[in-house]
Structure formats: C-alpha cells, structure tokens
Structure 1
Amino acid sequence: MITMEDVIREGHPTLRLTAEEVETPLSEEVIQLAEDLLQFLKNSQDPEIAEQHALRAGVGIAAPQVNVSKRLLAVHVPSTDEESDEPEYSAILINPKIVSHSVQQTCLPDGEGCLSVDREVPGIVPRHKRITVEYIDLNGKKHKERLRGYPAIVVQHEIDHLNGVMFYDRIDPENPLALPDGIDVLGS
C-alpha cells in the first residue's frame, strides 16, 4: 500500500525529470504500480482509511511522485454530488499525450495543491478548459478521450509531473493572484 512516506517532496530531483515512456506490452511491475497509485487515491479520499494511515486527500498522482520516472498516472475525481453533471472520473493513463486543447483557459478559484508540496502556494494556475488526451490503459488498449472542467485540470497537472513541471511554475511570479484575460474560473 502506498502511503505519504512513499510520496517524494519538492526539491527531490526525480520531480524535475522528463519521465520515460512506458514500454508495451506492460510489465506486471508497471500494472501493479498503476493499480497501487489508483488505490492510493481512493484510500486518500476515504476519511477512515486516510486518518488511519495519515494520508492527504488527492485526486491525481503521477509515477514520478513515488520516485518512478515513468509516463504513468492515476486520476480519481469523485462526483461532486448526485445533481452534478460532472460524473466520477477514475482512470489510469499510460504514456498520456494531450493531442489538442481549447484556446479558452480555466483555473481553480483557490489555486492548486499537490501531494508533493507540503506548503500553501497561493496563485492562479491557468489550464486549458478542454483537452483531448491519448493514452493506453492497463490492457494496452489505446484511448482518445475528451475532458473538460475539473478532470481536465487534474490530468494536465499530472501530465506536468511527467514533464518535470510543478504547478507553481505556471503561476505568474509578478502577480500570482491576477486572473489572465478571458480565463474562466471553474465553479464561478
């Protein structure tokens, strides 16, 4: 079981590397890591398990965050509520690539956080409002998926980890809380 002790923190050199492509067919080791990453997210969102193992809640995690420099990530975004038009989004993305994106940008109203960053980093993190991502799943099957809103933000954050980019690299250092022109604040 992955715990917070397995998650490396900012300053660790692996977080600044460009991760390597995962070879196919997938090895048992890669499949196990992917399943463990997704299970970590589910555990971190379960109040009882999270408290028992001192887990910080997360909606996405990339392999480099557990010191494995491979292009692999897991996302588990729960549905906000029954009336929401945003269903749960749970996926393992291997060798993900954003193949197209909207010009329109979006951001979270309170900025972003990261399991590898133990401090508050205030600032607006501009992201594409819609993306199309290609990836392979645990069965080696190729997918091309369109995402928007919160799941799109989470996947972009995790793909950044595969490229050695931290979320705060995207914050305007001159004016961290300034909203770029035309940006859509998620949920507003």
Structure 2
Amino acid sequence: MSKILEVIQLGHPILRSQAQNVDNTDSPQIQNLIDNLLTTVIAANGVGIAAPQVAVNDRLFIVASRPNPRYPTAPQMQPTAMINPQILAHSSELVKGWEGCLSIPGIRGLVPRYRAIEVEYSDRAGKLHKQELTDFVARIFQHELDHLDGIVFVDRLQSTQDLITEQEYQKLHPV
C-alpha cells in the first residue's frame, strides 16, 4: 500500500546534493519509492516530484502533468517514473515560464528553460526510453532533473524581479 511521504523544504541539505544512480530498478525499495512518489505528487497537486524531495538521494523522479489547482492548464499525461534520466540534446530556444516547487511553497518564479529536449531514462521495469519532450512537459523534466543535481528553480532565475508569491500568482493567473 503506497503512502504520502513528507516533502522536505528548501534548506534541507539533501536538496543541495548530487543524487546517486539507481542500479537495480526492480528492487522492492525502488518500486515502493515509485509508488509512494506517485501517491505524494498527486496528493500535493504537483506535476512532478523527485526522490531528493522526500529525502531519498536517488536519480529518480515522476513526471505527472495534469490539470490541477496549482497548474489548471497543464496537459494531461500518464504519470511516468523516470530513472537515471538525462538530457541528450536540446533546442537553442529558451522560454520563460512560471514554476513552483513542492519544496519551496508559497512562491513562483519565471524560469528560462529549453523549449524542446531529447531525453533518455529507464522506466520502472528497467526499459530504456528515448523521446522528445516540448513545452510544459519539457519544463517539468528539466525542473525535476535539476533536483537530482542539487539545483532548485530559484537558482535559475535571471533576476529576483522574476519571483512572485503564490497568492499574487493566483490573482494574475485565475483559473
């Protein structure tokens, strides 16, 4: 039975450390972690969550884009566990978009990200996938990949002028 895990907050040292590769995707610990991350991201109205956000230092995250109260215009996709993910190639085009983070509640930032990326990852069965991601889903992937490298979205801001509270964001971007 999966459970909702505690999401650690900015300031916790694991959020600033390099995650370790997952060597055994079918281990019970990894399979249980995936189930718990899926439950946690949905309960928190997130569109992605990385293992370091629940104090587990593994190169694993969930991309779970879907419309929800925090991201009402998000595209719908099947939640996907991505193990040992990496970017193989990216567009030259950078696009700024609003991001929030379950580990940094209460604020959003206007973050530049590549519009299109070619990625590689293993799924929970250990099968290797290569695919191109664009726009919002590419943004989620890049945000979560940063978590595996000890980077949070505020590190990517071009200016502190690009920060806003969640309350003001909701006023500017009503559903």
The verdict on a shared fold, with TM-score over 0.5 as the criterion, is yes
Specify the alignment match of 2:102 in structure 1: 115
Contact 1:89–1:151 (Cα < 8 Å) also in 2: no
- What does the per-residue CA deviation read over 1:73-93, in whole Å, with 9 as the maximum and x for residues that have no partner? 01111169xxx9x44242100
**Which structure dedicates a bigger proportion of its chain to strand?**
2
* Residues 1:64 and 2:45 are matched in the alignment: no
Contact preservation (8 Å) 2:50, 2:144: yes
Shift of 1:125: 0.3
In 1, Cα distance between equivalents of 2:131 and 2:13? 31
Conserved 8 A contact 2:99-2:153 = yes
Unaligned runs of 5+ in 2: 164-175
* Aligned with residue 153 of structure 1, among 114, 139, 156: 139
Structure 1 residues 99, 57: closer, same or farther in 2, change over 3 A? same
Q: Deviations over 1:97-153 (max 9, x none)?
A: 011111111232xx21100012314x4200000111100011111000111011110
**Greater Cα shift, 168-177 or 60-69:** 168-177
Q: Tell me which residue corresponds to 2:119.
A: 133
Q: Which residue of 1 aligns with 2:31?
A: 31
**Alignment correspondent of 2:63:** 75
**Structure 2 residue aligned with 1:181:** none
CA distance in 2: counterparts of 1:62 and 1:25, whole angstroms? 15
Number of the residue aligned with 1:20: 20
Matching residue's letter, 1:67? A
* More displaced stretch, 18-27 vs 69-78: 18-27
Distance in 1 (CA, whole Å) between partners of 2:94 and 2:20 is 28
Calculate the TM-score normalised by the size of structure 1. 0.77
Q: Partner residue of 1:49? A: none
3-state SS of paired residue (2:132): strand
Distance 1:33 1:174 in 2: 35
Q: Hey, what does 2:150 align to over in structure 1?
A: 164
- In structure 2, relative to structure 1, the CA distance for the partners of 1:32 and 1:143 (3 Å cut) is same
Contact kept, 8 Å, 1:105 with 1:129, in 2: the verdict is yes
Point out the structure with max Rg over C-alpha: 1
Determine if the alignment matches structure 1 residue 7 to structure 2 residue 13: no
Cα root mean square deviation, aligned: 1.9
